[in-house]
Amino acid sequence: MVVNIVDIERGSRAEKSGIKKGDVLISINGHPINDVLDYGFYLADKRVKLLLSRDGKEFEVTIHKETYDDIGLGFEEPLMDKKHRCENACIFCFIDQNPRGMRESIYFKDDDSRLSFLHGNYITLTNLSDADIQRIIDMHITPINISVHTTNPSLRVKMMKNKRAGDVLRYLNKLADGGCELHCQIVLCRGINDGAELDRTMRDLAVLYPAVTSVSVVPAGLTAHRDGLYKLEPFTPAECADIVAKVTSFGDNCKSKLGTRIFFASDEFYIKAGLPLPCGDFYEGYPQLENGVGMVTSFLDDIKSELEFIGDYSYDKDKPRHITIATGEAAAPYITTAVEKICSLCYNIKCDVIAVKNKFFGGEVTVSGLLTGSDFLSALSTQNLHDELLIPASTLRAEGDLFLDNKSPAWLSEKLGVPVRTVKNDAVDFICAVLGCTSPYENEDINENG
């Protein structure tokens, strides 16, 4: 495979070595470059010899640098080839439950081990070969996030509708023996892989400690768009409480024997069961934060800690400020708690929190990140939104410009007649948004980076 170079960083070693846009990278130190993993692995040496091609003629460039230093090449695709498409047809797949008419990229199902390493995506192992697994081990690609769901081979085949789904479970042992750190998730489906099957899965994964360092147990997300799909039912509040008790008990046992609990139920199970969320220490550094495990506790603890430095925030204390925060139904009570803490210290601030029902995906979906522009408009069009509307940044795609329904914050602002500000899931950004100011650490960040 050849890789087209589309950008050269100014002042970089690549530019100084005479490499140009349009050149083609063939190999590094004699190793063919097939993707970003090859590139990163073979570029790690202090002395790298690049074989390139320009206008059909091959030439070599040798660069001396520090180990792991980049040389300033940019490629057309971040992975240097196409993403690997998912080969499964999971009975709980959320993408299959999207309504029609959304932008094309939303319907793409990736299952790419490179994205697991680079961006924390979860992979199922079903599209990997023995050679792929050995390559991961040889390149020391770790940590890896793996969607396990069940360690019962026949049940995994049934859930994922892929005949390889059971056989590739052996890769867990091979990766563990190869020194890889594994973070796993179990997407729980009512009456399918819960109960005794969940017990079995937790026992089997616990045996792989210390390679398996954390496992999240999360409920399958169910939308209103399931016509023709496998019939799944949501867990009841009582069942959610039982699942929390089961996972916590097993985690307690691991904690006493291994010094770590490994297994964590997601916030969604606690919230739906009406149970209090654990304290921060329970989550042991939040290894599954991005999977919705400990997210609420982490956020509230960060707010509490940051408010000790509220005097560092430069905002207009004499000017009354009345804002509205719109968020998902699950998060609304906790956002209210955070706002009350801020307003108790900042007497000129008033804030209304509105829980927005998700009509786009259906009432079973209560997380903030899946709210759309039309959901916000429907919930807020008759409300007095006062000075400014705050919404979660997680409702927008990575570029920060579009909701899942292709509406924009600017569109929402125009429709509602109020300024709209997006807020990250970050204590400092949240406090700044509520107060209407910039971060007190902004200059520090500039000085550190520049």
The pLDDT value given to residue 363:
66
Strand duo 263-265 + 321-328: pairing: unpaired
Calpha distance 50→5 (Å, rounded): 13
- The mean pLDDT value for 347-354 works out to 96
Q: In this predicted model, which residue has the larger pLDDT, 105 or 360?
A: 360
The pLDDT value given to residue 135:
85
What is the DSSP code (8-state) at residue 84? P
Range name among 246-255, 356-365, 372-381 with the lowest pLDDT average: 356-365
Calpha distance 211→176 (Å, rounded): 5
Residue listed under structure tokens 């959901």? 375
The pLDDT value given to residue 75:
79
Strand duo 388-392 + 420-423: pairing: parallel
**pLDDT confidence bin for 326, thresholds 50/70/90:** very high
| pLDDT tens profile 17-57 | 999 998 988 888 988 887 777 777 788 788 999 998 999 89
Which of left, alpha, beta for 223 (phi over 0: left; psi -120 to 50: alpha)? beta
CATH 2.30.42.10 assigned to 3-75: yes
SS3 36: helix
Exposure string of 225-264, with b = 16+ CB inside 10 Å and e = fewer, is: eeeeebeeeebeeebbbbbbebbbebbeebeeeeebbbbb
| Cβ atoms of 55 and 194 closer than 8 Å | no
Distances (CA, A) of 141 to 119, 133, 134, 178, 182: 12, 10, 10, 10, 11
- The mean pLDDT value for 93-119 works out to 63
Paired tokens of 332? 């609304």
Strand duo 24-28 + 47-54: pairing: antiparallel
| pLDDT tens profile 352-362 | 999 999 999 98
Sign of CA dihedral 302, 305, 309, 310: positive
Which of these, 391, 387, 416, 385, lies nearest to 320 by C-alpha position?
A: 387
Percent of the chain with pLDDT over 70: 91
| Cβ atoms of 315 and 437 closer than 8 Å | yes
Q: Angle at the Cα of 369 (from 299 to 373), degrees rounded to 5? A: 130
Percent of the chain with pLDDT over 90: 66
Could you please state the CATH topology (level 3) that the domain comprising 95-293 is classified under.
TIM Barrel (3.20.20)
pLDDT at 107 over 70: no
Which of these, 66, 56, 71, lies nearest to 13 by C-alpha position?
A: 71
DSSP output for 266-290:
-HHHHHHHTPPPPPGGGGTT-TTGG
| pLDDT tens profile 267-305 | 999 999 999 999 999 999 999 998 999 999 999 999 999
